[in-house]
Structure 1
Amino acid sequence: MVFTNSLSSYYEKMLATGEVKCIDEEIPFEIPQGWEWERFGNVMINKDSERVPLSVAQRQHLKKTYDYYGASGVIDKVDKYLFDKDLLLIGEDGANLINRSTPIAFIAKGKYWVNNHAHVLDVCSEMALSYVALFINAISLVDYVTGTAQPKMNQEKMNSILLAIPPVKEQHRILEKMSMVDAFIDKYATLQTKLDSLDNSVYELLRKSILQEAIQGKLVPQIAEEGSAQELLEQIKAEKQKLVKEGKLKKSALATSVIFRGDDNKYFEKNGNTEMNITDEIPFEIPDSWSWVRLNDICSYIQRGKSPKYSLIKKYPVVAQKCNQWSGFSIDKAQFIDPDTLSSYGEERILQDGDLMWNSTGLGTLGRMAIYCSTLNPYELAVTDSHVTVIRAMKKFVLPQYLYYYFTSNTVQSVIEDKSDGSTKQKELATATVKTYLVPIPPLMEQSRIISKIEQLASIMRG
């Protein structure tokens, strides 16, 4: 029994022994006149002994008629019931005791079954169950929980909770007022959810708009002194010829096409002596200093990975589709190849910094891209599996981050499945398709300015 003396200190008398002790340090806050503090166990009737746990296997073939409660609410239905009365349930164990992601105390109604993960309680007076639930959900239970890996609030700890008890009529007035407040809270939560959704959609729309402006040459101004993309393509061609002579590129890499706009403003592509009208392929107009080009003509390597022989030896990770997320590249999701099979991959298949890794199969994952960064790989090196295409740009002339922004733009992503090969169940970006993708190329310095501007605007949007 808890009481105060003439000095307004709080004392507790143990009825069994008659011992009296001061509990001022335990009292969390002052209460109005007419209210009383009391230990939870002194005003509640515990029915835990009537609980019966049923395993998943036991419940599997039962008729689903009555609610089956666990620590956080209804988790199943069963064909019989243990209780047929409104009772208070309080979660006995689980992380929710600490993080309180859902209410820890709730009222069970009707006919139902309770397992051994929820305390079952009734009141021994006219006190309202819903008020007790409200109080328990409002306070921190950290001081009454044992264990960290597996938090638990046993009967002894629960019974020691100090409960602030108002007169019965005031309890009901409190509950009535809270029901009104809950209606406002629910309305606010709904509006907040809509606002969060709108914020996310606005952010995504802005991001897409920025990327679209960027790849069309509208995000940063053109500067004549930076030269033209045509000059850049000539430099790439010369560099490829040099690499072929040095044996670092195959001669087939020199077979490039030239895309130009005719006097009638139509676009043409010239391959050797063959000239084709490709106006229908051009998605938008670009500045005069830019050029349209096939992806293969500005890359030194475009190729799928191999189907690996996996190993438990964590030496050489294999980048798969799940490693390429829109949030970035994650080696943590990778499996590993058998180290003895690395030589069968060939040196060119070993990933290099700046390599674009493009998911080339599947529904939902098709077209997702990330940039390989060796500093994010704690292992010696990495390769890709056969579902990921590696795109290695001529990095002296074409910045991988610019290509990344182009291939993640709405121009590419919105039609990725339409331009893919394969069936409706298994879409695929064939290597030949990837190599012939049209890319709008600005001069090198403008590429750098575009990247900086996109990153600056993204930082502002993130707040």
Structure 2
Amino acid sequence: MHDLIKYFDIAFDAPDGIKKLREIILSLAMQGKLVPQNPSEGTASDLLKEIEKEKKKLIKEGKIKPPKPLPPIKPEEIPHEIPDTWQWVRLGEVGVYNYGSTVCPENILPDSWVLDLEDIEKDTSKIVNRFKYRERMSKSNKNSFYKGDLLYGKLRPYLNKVIVADDDGYCTTEIVSIFLFSNISRFFFLNCFKAAYFKLYIDNKMYGVKMPRLGTDDANLSLHPLPPLAEQHRIVKKIESLMALCDALEELKKSAAVKLQSSGNAAIEMLLSSGDEEDFNRNWTFIRDNFEELFSTPENIKSLKKAILQLAVMGKLVPQNPSEGTASNLLKEIEKEKKKLIKEGKIKPPKPLPPIKPEQIPHKIPNTWQWVRLGEVASKVTDGDHKTPPRLEEGYRLLSAKNVRDGYLNFENCDLISEIYYLKSRERCLPEYGDLLIVSVGGTIGRSSLVPEDSKFALVRSVALIKPLFLNSKFLKNIMDSEILQSQIHLKKRGGAQPCLYLSEIERFYCPLPPLAEQHRIVKKIESLMTVCEALEESIQTKTKTQTTLLQCIR
């Protein structure tokens, strides 16, 4: 027998470990590996003889109809090995599928129990709602069921909704009642219906497109392992005790996750409130040295990365250096360059941008920095072609929102266009090395990437382009990923199912601007901190992968 307890620690730490452990418990139970066999309890063969007697008696009394003959079980149908005292049986041998009768609503008494699929909690087999017919009147027919029947949701979304009825009642026709003969543990078969071997069988036998379901003939032909009755009861008892441990472990994990989240948030808050570089280094060292304890989930690490970007835009990531000048000096250089480009006919004169109001400013920045609109620090803010050019099997690449990933461009499944349309598109919008692309239409709005070297492509309307002037492009990308820009994107996007950002809104987005030399230092610092985060993240992923592999090895 398996000593499963030693795997509970692994299950606690592994992603979906407890869910996997529950599956393993059922799998071992169905293989006869959860409790020892006892020869004094007889065999499944003896049990089947008693079932056959009961079946004949019930047929004679008119309580059940004579069943259709079932084909013998072929060796290739058998899902796995079972103990010698067990036997594989078809459901039709040990029960009657769809036992209840169809009842018109006018024949249902007001105080009768009426069960719907939504009343059963998936996976747990708990009844979460219990209504009488007078509380849930219906015009549709119902199926009757009796106390002790196995009730099973036969549609794909509800396959794990299975209970043993604790009273007589009526249910939706999408729930089927199964009568099991008296020498069968209802709760043993409830677990059979949740086990992996049966789910696999259903996957192969479901029919229908919109709402796939299990047919009566296929249900009756399904194979199930049958132990002696006394062993069935012992297996059920063992499953219940192990599942109770899983429940307790799940609660403990939830509690630990809340505490961990709280500790991680406190550490991030400490980092964000760093007063100077020395303070920041001390707080960062604490996080780095306790990383696995504070940030053991992808969500926590994501929060830390966001905090690093937040510190960057607050001017707290690197110290300021007066010799590097000011943002005011930088803006004068940008303005000078813009006038030159306008004079040369390379860009059009920009529309005036509104001043940034004091109430818009979310936080303090160093004295050498300045709040600016994106349109002030870009030579151009534009987007791709608004007219859809014909697609070809060969040609020039045309990028859309689907090709802009978080921090990189994916050229796979790229649309292709002719040279004429390609050149025409690039007259309006010419992506060049260091430009920032941002998704401006659709579900991934706000996602951005820099244009890499030696990239030639055209853009469609769903991607906007920002050409920075005297800015570190990577700094602009970090600004775009920060909370200050993402919150403005969320606030300014228009539309519902297909949201969009207008170019005029992108130009008006405001952000902090440091001197150029400081931008370079900030980018370098962000990259070094993100490298540490990613290395530690990889180490956690390796650990969890090992734990998952260990659980998968249990047979």
Q: Shorter-chain-normalised TM-score: which range?
A: 0.5 to 0.7
**Deviation for aligned residue 1:303:** 1.9
**Structure 2 residue aligned with 1:389, among 458, 464, 484?**
464
Q: Which residue of the partner structure matches residue 58 of structure 2?
A: none
Q: Deviation per CA, 1:10-32, whole angstroms, max 9, x where unpaired?
A: 9999999xxxx9xxx964579xx
Counting strand residues as a fraction of each chain, which structure ranks higher? 1
Correspondence list, 1:168-247, <5 A: 170=234, 173-174=237-238, 177=241, 180-181=244-245, 183-184=247-248, 187-188=251-252, 190-191=254-255, 202-203=300-301, 205-223=303-321, 229=327, 232-233=330-331, 236=334, 240=338, 247=344
**Deviation for aligned residue 1:286:** 3.4
Counting helix residues as a fraction of each chain, which structure ranks higher? 2
**Deviation for aligned residue 1:84:** 1.3
**Deviation for aligned residue 1:92:** 8.2
Distance 1:107 1:353, change over 3 A: farther
Is the 2:141–2:172 contact (alpha carbons within 8 Å) kept by the matching residues of 1? yes
Is the 1:374–1:381 contact (alpha carbons within 8 Å) kept by the matching residues of 2? no
Distance 1:43 1:452, change over 3 A: farther
**Structure 2 residue aligned with 1:39, among 61, 68, 88?**
88
**Structure 1 residue aligned with 2:142, among 71, 74, 81?**
81
Q: Which residue of the partner structure matches residue 449 of structure 2?
A: 371
Question: Which letter maps to 1:210?
Answer: I
Whole-angstrom distance in 2 between the partners of 1:449 and 1:29: 68
SS of structure 2 residue aligned to 1:345: helix
**Structure 2 residue aligned with 1:159, among 201, 223, 231?**
223
SS of structure 2 residue aligned to 1:252: coil
Q: Which residue of the partner structure matches residue 63 of structure 2?
A: none
Is the 1:309–1:341 contact (alpha carbons within 8 Å) kept by the matching residues of 2? no
Whole-angstrom distance in 1 between the partners of 2:497 and 2:172: 44
- Structure 1: state its 5+ residue gaps: 31-35, 53-64, 97-101, 258-268, 270-275
> Which one has more relative contact order, counting CA pairs under 8 Å at least 6 apart?
2
The reply on whether 1:356 has 2:436 as its aligned counterpart is yes
Q: Which residue of the partner structure matches residue 55 of structure 1?
A: none
**Deviation for aligned residue 1:381:** 1.8
Q: Deviation per CA, 1:78-128, whole angstroms, max 9, x where unpaired?
A: 82234413444678897x9xxxxx87572264423556xx99644323332
Distance 1:158 1:208, change over 3 A: same
The reply on whether 1:127 has 2:184 as its aligned counterpart is yes
- Structure 2: state its 5+ residue gaps: 1-31, 50-69, 102-113, 126-137, 263-296, 538-555
Question: Which letter maps to 1:170?
Answer: R
Q: Deviation per CA, 1:100-158, whole angstroms, max 9, x where unpaired?
A: xx87572264423556xx99644323332112222553555588688599999956873
Whole-angstrom distance in 1 between the partners of 2:495 and 2:90: 65
Distance 1:79 1:446, change over 3 A: same
Is the 2:192–2:198 contact (alpha carbons within 8 Å) kept by the matching residues of 1? no
The reply on whether 1:441 has 2:513 as its aligned counterpart is yes
Question: Which letter maps to 1:402?
Answer: F
Q: Which residue of the partner structure matches residue 300 of structure 1?
A: 379
Q: Which residue of the partner structure matches residue 261 of structure 1?
A: none
SS of structure 1 residue aligned to 2:191: helix
The reply on whether 1:249 has 2:328 as its aligned counterpart is no
Question: Which letter maps to 1:370?
Answer: S
SS of structure 2 residue aligned to 1:390: strand
**Deviation for aligned residue 1:283:** 4.8
Distance 1:216 1:189, change over 3 A: closer
**Deviation for aligned residue 1:234:** 5.8
The reply on whether 1:111 has 2:170 as its aligned counterpart is yes
**Deviation for aligned residue 1:383:** 0.9
Q: Deviation per CA, 1:197-241, whole angstroms, max 9, x where unpaired?
A: 766775555444322210122102235665655565565556556
Q: Which residue of the partner structure matches residue 12 of structure 2?
A: none
Distance 1:119 1:182, change over 3 A: farther
**Deviation for aligned residue 1:39:** 1.9
Q: TM-score, normalised to structure 1's length?
A: 0.60
Whole-angstrom distance in 1 between the partners of 2:387 and 2:206: 38
Moved more, 285-294 or 42-51: 42-51
Q: TM-score, normalised to structure 2's length?
A: 0.52
**Deviation for aligned residue 1:449:** 3.1
Whole-angstrom distance in 2 between the partners of 1:173 and 1:277: 69
Whole-angstrom distance in 2 between the partners of 1:193 and 1:333: 40
> Percent identity over the alignment?
21
Distance 1:111 1:373, change over 3 A: farther
